[in-house]
A and B are shown apart, each in its own frame.
Chain A
Amino acid sequence: MDRFTIEDLTAARTKAAAVLENPDIFHLMVCSGTGCHATGSLPVVEALRQEVAQRDLGDKVRVVETGCNGFCAAGPIMVVHPGDIFYQKLKVEDVPVIIEEHILKGKPVEKYFYKDPVSKKKIPSQDDIPFFAHQMPRALRNKGLIDPESIDDYIGRDGYRATAKALQEMSADEIIEEVKTSGLRGRGGAGFPAGMKWQFAKASPGETKFVLCNADEGDPGAFMDRSILEADPHAVLEGMIIAAKAINARQGYVYARTEYPLAIRRLGIAIEQAHERGLIGDDIMGTGFNFHVEIYQGAGAFVCGEETALMRSIEGRRGMPRPRPPFPAHKGLWEKPTILNNVETLANVPQIILNGGDWYASVGTETSKGTKVFALSGDVNNIGLLEVPMGTSLRKMIYDIGGGIPKKRKFKAVQLGGPSGGCVPEEYLDTPVDYEEIAKVGAIMGSGGAIVMDENTCMVDMARFFMDFIQDESCGKCTPCREGTRRQLELLKKICDGKGEPQDLNELESLSDVIKETALCGLGQTGPNPVLSTLRYFRHEYEAHIHEQRCPAKRCVALLKFEVNEELCTRCGMCARACPVDAVEWEKKQLARIDKEKCIECLTCYDKCKFNAID
């Protein structure tokens, strides 16, 4: 493959765009993200290719495996262009029908359309489905539109134009200025202005500098970065090249979670292809600028998402944080000036360079500009990945895009920011997505994990869950985090076991204060947040556990009786049918009874009973 000059890139774009936008053929875009893989998209793709070959439709149809479409709940997904027809939950046996009816006869197959759960209407076009209609894709602009393993597809969608512009037409200061104008803040959670970070690193003296990409997406319930890397890896690479020009770095690393094999594979392919085309490496596009990128795989340590710990890990050491200052912009990887940006932050950069900082800042709020990607999951109908303008309310995210709460249950809280964050209850659902506004209600923007919890979630158990996580992932270097989180976990376990005492809540609060004030790194400093936020909004649940030995959500096994409530039982037998070990005795129209000898306390009957009749 010949190395590209800037002229070659322009020619390649025209050629690739003609293929991508060819209106005379059908483009079958099959989602091939982790979610759809697991629900069976690969066999569907295989079947499509076979069917197309058998019917000799090769010149009329393009079958493309795309990155994560985002609407994971509807997988496997295929979108057909032209027409933007959205097919969901496809199986291999559906393929011949779709080829016959849609491709050959031009009649889209209604059977596989998305059905709106509220209006019960079938919606053919992707853009009309509420899940997509309220979104604004920027970081995810190429999701579902390109094959992430094809650099030509990316180039056809303006790929590497921003790199060409930054390397040929812009000075380092101009790049930094543009990013500052955009108001882009760190999407990993802390929200530090990206342009400022770059400016500090540029001003730092030294010949050797590094650009790092943080793809160690460790927050449970967060899959934004994974999806971006799976759907559009070149955008992240471009962001890194532009950042490298801004601070004058020659080498970059992507620190990726080992739990993300598909993302790592696609990123590797992207680096290789960019290398072959001379878009990464020495003398990029003949501009004389050199920049190399390597992938560095993590080995399973949450704390390595913290910048100084991440750098130690790349150095091949135990990933433990160190006190700052010195900040990485002065002394980072191998003691050299380093910037570390999150995947989503970097994916936004090419668009900012191409369209200008003012364009980027044209949406959003006073202090939070642009868009934010969220991973919506938990007890919500439309689980998936979404990108909304800053300022969108949480209610809109959960109800309009997320389709509300399943099984007719009530909303209880949405947890933002993972183990560093907090939960937002019903009364604050109109809070806009904005770094400062979300902080005011006791949560954080975080990296974008949004886990919806319904009335059956016990908030004490939730706090225990996060504290268990933090305690386990604490690296042990500083005492407040190592010991403090352990004591907090003990207290929370005690409360969940029904052995809580009134003073435990005060102790939880005072421990939280000390840990927040004195822990060495972000992990410890934010670790008590889930406890504080559940105490703030759901103190009554803690009190019910302590004073009445009762778990209102019926989750804490030690506080459950596993007995059928005679008054509430409708004698329907759902619990008996659901019990995996036949521990429920029931006959038609008779009261159910749980045999405690056989019962394994799995809570299946609690889940199945619609009448709350098991105590």
Chain B
Amino acid sequence: MSLAMRPEHADITPDMWPQIDEVIAVNRSIKGSVIAVLRQCQDVVGYLPVELMEYIASGMNLARSDVFGVASFYALFSFEPKGRHTLKVCTGTACYVKGIKEIITRICNEYDMEEGGTSPDMRFTLEPVRCLGACGLAPVMVIGADTHGDVSSDKVVDILQAYE
């Protein structure tokens, strides 16, 4: 079921559209479900291009400003494409006390990137995140489904070599 004209966008491939439509169809009558819709659409596409948010707004029968307002409020949502691997570095207090700042500096130097940015080769996106609640392992870095604990500024480069 197509809910509105599907906009053309390089990062939204044809196989993604049915998934997006499905998400919207399931949620459109549920009050307050826009955050869940944005989350699931971002899981499909990888981020939230403006065209996609407009499409969601029309599908959910919401004002575009409402959808963008919500998306821009929450840290989970990204308007930029991400690298092949997202490095979630925990910036909670325990990790901070144990030296996450030095690890972030090392990653930025090594891969020519900035905090929150993506390396020029689209290999890594460095995403400082709020406390992951794994303080026993501080400093912590999460890559995909892998949690790396007790990271240090020398170890981090070895760890990252495994992620191409």
What's the A-B contact tally at a CB cutoff of 8 Å?
A: 148
Determine if B73 and A302 form an interchain contact, defined as CB atoms under 8 angstroms apart. no
CA distance A488 to B66 in the complex (A): 32
Q: Determine if B137 is an interface residue (Cβ-Cβ < 8 Å).
A: yes
Contacts of B135 in A (CB 8 A): 72, 221, 223, 375, 377-378, 383, 451
Q: Which of B12-33 contact A (CB under 8 A)?
A: 31-33
Contacts of A466 in B (CB 8 A): 93
Determine if A39 and B133 form an interchain contact, defined as CB atoms under 8 angstroms apart. no
Min C-beta distance of A88 to chain B, whole Å: 13
Q: Determine if A603 is an interface residue (Cβ-Cβ < 8 Å).
A: yes
CA distance A436 to B105 in the complex (A): 41
Q: Identify B131's interface contact among A218, A316, A383, CB under 8 A.
A: A218
Known: A38-B137, A39-B137. A315 touches B149 (CB 8 A): no
Determine if B70 and A316 form an interchain contact, defined as CB atoms under 8 angstroms apart. yes
Determine if A379 and B97 form an interchain contact, defined as CB atoms under 8 angstroms apart. yes
Among A223, A226, A260, A578, the one with the most B-chain Cβ atoms within 10 Å of its Cβ is A223
Determine if B136 and A221 form an interchain contact, defined as CB atoms under 8 angstroms apart. no
In the complex, residue of chain A having the shortest beta-carbon distance to the beta carbon of B95:
A220
Q: Determine if A319 is an interface residue (Cβ-Cβ < 8 Å).
A: yes
Q: Determine if A600 is an interface residue (Cβ-Cβ < 8 Å).
A: yes
Q: Determine if B45 is an interface residue (Cβ-Cβ < 8 Å).
A: no
Interface string of A454-480 (1 = CB under 8 A from B): 000100000001100000000100000
Contacts of B153 in A (CB 8 A): 580, 602, 604
Q: Determine if A485 is an interface residue (Cβ-Cβ < 8 Å).
A: no
In the complex, residue of chain A having the shortest beta-carbon distance to the beta carbon of B129:
A259
Which of B49-57, B74-82, B117-125 is the contact stretch?
B74-82
Contacts of B109 in A (CB 8 A): 600
Interface string of A282-298 (1 = CB under 8 A from B): 00000000000000011
Min C-beta distance of A297 to chain B, whole Å: 7
Determine if A316 and B99 form an interchain contact, defined as CB atoms under 8 angstroms apart. no
Q: Which of A211-230 contact B (CB under 8 A)?
A: 217-223, 226
Count residues on chain A whose CB falls below 8 Å from chain B CBs. Answer: 58
Determine if B136 and A73 form an interchain contact, defined as CB atoms under 8 angstroms apart. yes
Determine if B39 and A218 form an interchain contact, defined as CB atoms under 8 angstroms apart. no
Count residues on chain B whose CB falls below 8 Å from chain A CBs. Answer: 45
Q: Determine if A139 is an interface residue (Cβ-Cβ < 8 Å).
A: no
Contacts of B32 in A (CB 8 A): 314-317
Determine if A315 and B31 form an interchain contact, defined as CB atoms under 8 angstroms apart. yes
CA distance A319 to B75 in the complex (A): 12
Interface string of B100-133 (1 = CB under 8 A from A): 0010011001000000000000000000011111
Determine if B136 and A383 form an interchain contact, defined as CB atoms under 8 angstroms apart. yes
Contacts of A258 in B (CB 8 A): 39, 76
Among A257, A302, A317, A475, the one with the most B-chain Cβ atoms within 10 Å of its Cβ is A317
Min C-beta distance of A565 to chain B, whole Å: 21
Among B39, B131, B152, the one with the most A-chain Cβ atoms within 10 Å of its Cβ is B131
Known: A73-B136, A600-B109. A300 touches B31 (CB 8 A): no
Min C-beta distance of B83 to chain A, whole Å: 19
CA distance A332 to B135 in the complex (A): 33
CA distance A218 to B74 in the complex (A): 13
Determine if A607 and B99 form an interchain contact, defined as CB atoms under 8 angstroms apart. yes
Contacts of A377 in B (CB 8 A): 93-94, 135-136, 138
Contacts of A465 in B (CB 8 A): 93, 96
CA distance A258 to B36 in the complex (A): 11
Contacts of A321 in B (CB 8 A): none
CA distance A465 to B92 in the complex (A): 9
Min C-beta distance of B108 to chain A, whole Å: 10
Contacts of B105 in A (CB 8 A): 600-602
Known: A37-B147, A258-B76, A316-B32. A580 touches B131 (CB 8 A): no
Determine if A378 and B136 form an interchain contact, defined as CB atoms under 8 angstroms apart. no
Q: Determine if B44 is an interface residue (Cβ-Cβ < 8 Å).
A: no
Q: Identify A297's interface contact among B36, B70, B93, CB under 8 A.
A: B36
Determine if B92 and A221 form an interchain contact, defined as CB atoms under 8 angstroms apart. yes
Q: Identify B94's interface contact among A39, A220, A315, A607, CB under 8 A.
A: A220
Determine if A316 and B34 form an interchain contact, defined as CB atoms under 8 angstroms apart. yes
In the complex, residue of chain B having the shortest beta-carbon distance to the beta carbon of A475:
B73
Known: A302-B130, A313-B35, A602-B106. A457 touches B75 (CB 8 A): no
Determine if A316 and B149 form an interchain contact, defined as CB atoms under 8 angstroms apart. no
In the complex, residue of chain A having the shortest beta-carbon distance to the beta carbon of B147:
A38
Q: Determine if B11 is an interface residue (Cβ-Cβ < 8 Å).
A: no
Q: Which of A344-389 contact B (CB under 8 A)?
A: 375, 377-379, 383-384
Contacts of A418 in B (CB 8 A): 93
Known: A316-B32, A378-B97. A300 touches B136 (CB 8 A): no
Determine if B136 and A72 form an interchain contact, defined as CB atoms under 8 angstroms apart. yes
Q: Identify B39's interface contact among A217, A299, A315, A378, CB under 8 A.
A: A299
CA distance A34 to B132 in the complex (A): 10
Contacts of B75 in A (CB 8 A): 299-301
Contacts of A384 in B (CB 8 A): 136
In the complex, residue of chain B having the shortest beta-carbon distance to the beta carbon of A219:
B131
Contacts of A604 in B (CB 8 A): 102, 152-154
Min C-beta distance of B126 to chain A, whole Å: 16
CA distance A221 to B94 in the complex (A): 6
Known: A221-B131, A451-B94, A600-B105. A297 touches B137 (CB 8 A): no
Determine if A603 and B102 form an interchain contact, defined as CB atoms under 8 angstroms apart. yes
Q: Determine if A75 is an interface residue (Cβ-Cβ < 8 Å).
A: yes
CA distance A223 to B38 in the complex (A): 27
Q: Determine if A252 is an interface residue (Cβ-Cβ < 8 Å).
A: no
Determine if A580 and B106 form an interchain contact, defined as CB atoms under 8 angstroms apart. yes
Q: Determine if A239 is an interface residue (Cβ-Cβ < 8 Å).
A: no
Min C-beta distance of B68 to chain A, whole Å: 10
Q: Identify A316's interface contact among B31, B93, B129, B154, CB under 8 A.
A: B31
Interface string of B41-66 (1 = CB under 8 A from A): 00000000000000000000000000
Among A221, A320, A375, the one with the most B-chain Cβ atoms within 10 Å of its Cβ is A221
Min C-beta distance of A339 to chain B, whole Å: 19
Q: Identify B93's interface contact among A217, A220, A257, CB under 8 A.
A: A220
Q: Determine if B98 is an interface residue (Cβ-Cβ < 8 Å).
A: yes
Determine if B134 and A220 form an interchain contact, defined as CB atoms under 8 angstroms apart. no
Q: Determine if B7 is an interface residue (Cβ-Cβ < 8 Å).
A: no
Q: Identify A218's interface contact among B31, B99, B130, B140, CB under 8 A.
A: B130
Q: Identify A580's interface contact among B130, B134, B140, B154, CB under 8 A.
A: B154
Determine if A220 and B35 form an interchain contact, defined as CB atoms under 8 angstroms apart. no
Determine if A301 and B31 form an interchain contact, defined as CB atoms under 8 angstroms apart. no
Q: Determine if A453 is an interface residue (Cβ-Cβ < 8 Å).
A: yes
5 further A-B contacts with Cβ under 8 Å, apart from A220-B131, A223-B134, are A35-B137, A220-B91, A221-B93, A578-B154, A603-B102
List the 4 shortest-distance A-B pairs measured between CB atoms, nearest first.
A72-B136, A316-B32, A300-B75, A220-B92
Q: Can you show 9 pairs from A to B with CB atoms below 8 A apart?
A: A35-B137, A223-B135, A297-B35, A318-B69, A318-B70, A377-B94, A451-B94, A466-B93, A604-B154
